[in-house]
Amino acid sequence: MELNSPVKCLYGVGDKLEKTLHSAGLFTVNDMLYYLPRAYQNRGDVKELDDESCYGQYHSYILTVANEPSVAMIKRGMNLLKFRAFDDTGKVNITYFNQNYLKDVFHTGSTFRFWGKLNKEKRTLSLTSPAYEPILPTKILDPLIPVYPLFHGMNQKLMAKLQGEIISNISTLIKDFLPEDIRLKNQLPTLQFALKNIHAPISEEALEASIKRLTFDELFLFALSISKMKVTQQDSYAPAFSYTDAEPLLSLLPYKPTNAQAKAIRELSEDLCDKNSTGKRKAMNRIVVGDVGSGKTLIAAIGAYFACKSGYQCALMAPTEILAHQHYESMKPLFDKLGISCELLTGSTPRKEKNQTLLRLKSGETQFVIGTHALIQGGVEFKELALAITDEQHRFGARQRSSLGDKGLFSHTLVMSATPIPRTLSFMIYGDLDISLIDEMPPGRQRVDTFVVDEGYRTRLNGFIEKQIKNGNQVYIVCPSVEEKKEDADNFTDYDPFASLFDEGMPPLKATVEYAEHLKNEVFPDYNIAFLHGKMKPKEKDEIMMEFAKGSIQVLVSTTVIEVGVNVPNATLMIVENAERFGLSQLHQLRGRVGRGRDKSYCVLVSDSKSEKSVERLNIMKTIYDGYSIAERDLQMRGPGDFFSSSDSVRQSGQLDLGIAKNCTDTRLVHSAFESARELLASNPALLGDELDYLRQRVEETCVSKSNTIN
Ligand code: ADP
Ligand code: MG
Q: Tell me the three state secondary structure of residue 239.
A: strand
Do 167 and 199 form a contact (C-beta atoms < 8 A)? yes
Q: What are phi and psi of 123, to 5 degrees?
A: -115, 15
Q: Is 5 left (phi over 0), alpha (psi -120 to 50) or beta?
A: beta
The CATH superfamily label for domain 242-438 reads: P-loop containing nucleotide triphosphate hydrolases (3.40.50.300)
- Does the beta carbon of 592 sit less than 6 angstroms from any atom of ligand 1? no
Residue pair 143/85 in contact by the 8 Å Cβ criterion: no
Cα separation, 203 vs 213, in Å, equals 15
Rounded to a whole number of angstroms, the distance between the first and last alpha carbons of the chain is 33
Contact criterion met (CB below 8 Å) for 317 and 376? yes
Q: How far is the CA of 390 from the centre of ligand 2 (A)?
A: 10
Ligand approaching nearest to the C-alpha of 596: 1
CA distance 118 to 126: 6
Centroid of ligand 2 to alpha carbon of 658 (angstroms): 28
Which atom of ligand 1 approaches the CA of 256 most closely? 23
CA gap 457, 583 in Å, rounded: 23
Q: What is the DSSP string of 109-178?
A: T-EEEEEEEEEEETTEEEEES-EEEE-BTTBPPPSSEEEPPP-TT--HHHHHHHHHHHHHTHHHH----S
Pocket test for ligand 1, best of 255, 329, 370, 567 (most atoms within 8 A of CB): 255
pLDDT attached to residue 585: 84
Query: What whole-number distance in Å separates Cα of residue 155 and Cα of residue 491?
Result: 13
Q: How far is the CA of 118 from the centre of ligand 2 (A)?
A: 56
The pick from 249, 251, 288, 298 for probing ligand 1's pocket by mutation, whose C-beta has the most ligand atoms within 8 angstroms, reads 298
Q: How far is the CA of 442 from the centre of ligand 1 (A)?
A: 7
Q: Is 409 helix (H, G, I), strand (E, B) or coil?
A: coil
Identify the pLDDT of residue 386: 92
440 Cα: distance to centroid of ligand 1 (angstroms): 11
Closest CA to 706 of 650, 649, 645, 648: 650
Query: What local confidence, expressed as pLDDT, does residue 140 receive?
Result: 84
Q: What angle do CA 113, 158, 491 make, to 5 degrees?
A: 65
Could you tell me the CA-to-CA distances from 4 to 24, 29, 34, 697 in Å, in that order?
17, 6, 12, 14
- Nearest alpha carbon, ligand 1 atom 19: 295
Q: Does ligand 1 lie within 6 Å of residue 627's CB atom?
A: no
Q: Measured between alpha carbons, how far is 588 from 93 in angstroms, rounded to an integer?
A: 52
449-624 has CATH 3.40.50.2000 classification: no
Q: Name every residue whose Cβ is closer than 8 Å to that of residue 1 and which is 6 or more positions away in sequence.
A: 9, 29, 166, 169, 172, 173
Q: Is the beta carbon of 595 within 6 A of some atom in ligand 1?
A: no
Q: How many CB atoms lie within 10 A of CB 95?
A: 16
Q: What is the pLDDT of residues 355-373, one digit of tens each?
A: 999 999 999 999 999 998 8
Quote the strand ranges of 211-358, DSSP E: 237-239, 280-282, 285-290, 313-317, 342-345
Question: 200: CA distance to ligand 2 center in Å?
Answer: 49
Q: Ligand 1 mean position to 323 CA, how many Å?
A: 14
**Fold match flag (242-438 vs 449-624):** yes
Distance 159 CA to ligand 2 centre (A): 48
Tell which atom from ligand 1 comes closest to the C-alpha of 294. Answer: 2
- DSSP category for residue 488: P
pLDDT of 593-639, one tens digit each?
898 888 999 999 999 888 888 888 999 999 998 888 898 888 888 87
Alpha-carbon distance of 503 to 496, in angstroms, equals 11
- Taking Cα atoms as reference points, which of 616, 667, 624 lies closest to residue 643? 667
Regarding the beta carbon of 706 and ligand 1, being less than 6 Å apart is answered no
Query: What's the distance, CA 17 to chain centroid?
Result: 32
- Compute the distance between CA of residue 370 and CA of residue 390 in angstroms, rounded to an integer: 10
Measured between alpha carbons, how far is 656 from 650 in angstroms, rounded to an integer? 7
User: Domain 44-141 is classified in which CATH homologous superfamily?
Assistant: Nucleic acid-binding proteins (2.40.50.140)
**Where do the structural domains in the chain lie, given as residue ranges?**
44-141, 242-438, 449-624
Task: List helix spans (H) across 647-692.
Answer: 649-652, 667-683
Dihedral sign of CA atoms 205, 211, 214, 215 in order: negative
The confidence score (pLDDT) of residue 504 equals 38
Cα 198 to averaged position of ligand 2 atoms, centre (Å): 44
Query: Which stretches of 560-692 are DSSP H helices?
Result: 584-591, 612-623, 627-638, 641-646, 649-652, 667-683
Residues of 558-578 as b/e, b for ≥16 C-beta within 10 angstroms? bbbbbbbbbbbebbbbbbbbb
H-helix or E-strand containing 70?
strand 70-75
Burial of 79 (0-12, 13-18, 19+ CB in 10 A): middle
What span, in angstroms and rounded, lies between the C-alpha atoms of 190 and 210?
Answer: 9
Q: Is 42 near ligand 1, meaning CB less than 6 Å away?
A: no
Q: Is there a contact between 307 and 236 (Cβ–Cβ < 8 Å)? A: no
Contact predicate 659/405, CB 8 Å: no
The C-alpha torsion from 420 through 424 and 427 to 428, rounded to 10°, is -90
CA dist 358 and 364 (Å) reads 10
The closest ligand to the CA of 589 turns out to be 1
pLDDT for the residue numbered 534: 73
Identify which of 261, 297, 328, 589 to mutate to test ligand 1's pocket (most ligand atoms within 8 A of the CB). 297
* Residues sharing a CB contact under 8 Å with residue 171, sequence separation 6 or more, in sequence order: 192
Q: Which of 531, 527, 572 is nearest to 554 (CA)?
A: 527
Strand partners of residue 476: 556, 574
Q: Evaluate: CB of 253 within 6 angstroms of ligand 1.
A: no
- Tell me the ligand closest to 567's alpha carbon: 1
436 lines ligand 1 (CB under 6 A): no
Least distant ligand from the CA of 301: 1
Ligand 1 neighbourhood includes 320 CB (under 6 angstroms): no
Backbone angles phi, psi at 457, to 5 degrees: -95, 5
* Ranges of the chain with pLDDT below 70: 227-235, 275-278, 392-409, 427-429, 431-432, 481-510, 563-565, 644-658, 703-711
**332 exposed, middle or buried (CB, 10 Å; 0-12, 13-18, 19+)?**
middle
Distance CA 587, CA 183 (A): 38
CA of 313 to the centre of ligand 2 (A): 21
Q: Are the C-beta atoms of residues 394 and 639 closer than 8 Å to each other?
A: no
Residues comprising the chain, all counted: 711
Spatial neighbors of 361 by CB under 8 A, at least 6 apart, are: 313, 343, 345, 369, 380, 381, 382, 383
Task: Give every strand in the sheet of 602-606, ordered side by side.
Answer: 449-453, 602-606, 571-576, 474-478, 555-558, 529-532
Sorted by sequence, the CB contacts under 8 Å of residue 506 that are 6+ apart come out as: 580, 609, 611
Q: Are 392 and 414 in contact (CB under 8 A)?
A: no
Bridge-based pairing of strands 280-282 and 237-239 is antiparallel
What is the rounded distance in angstroms from the CA atom of residue 668 to the CA atom of residue 652?
26
Taking the C-alpha atoms of residue 650 and residue 643, their distance in angstroms, rounded to an integer, is 9
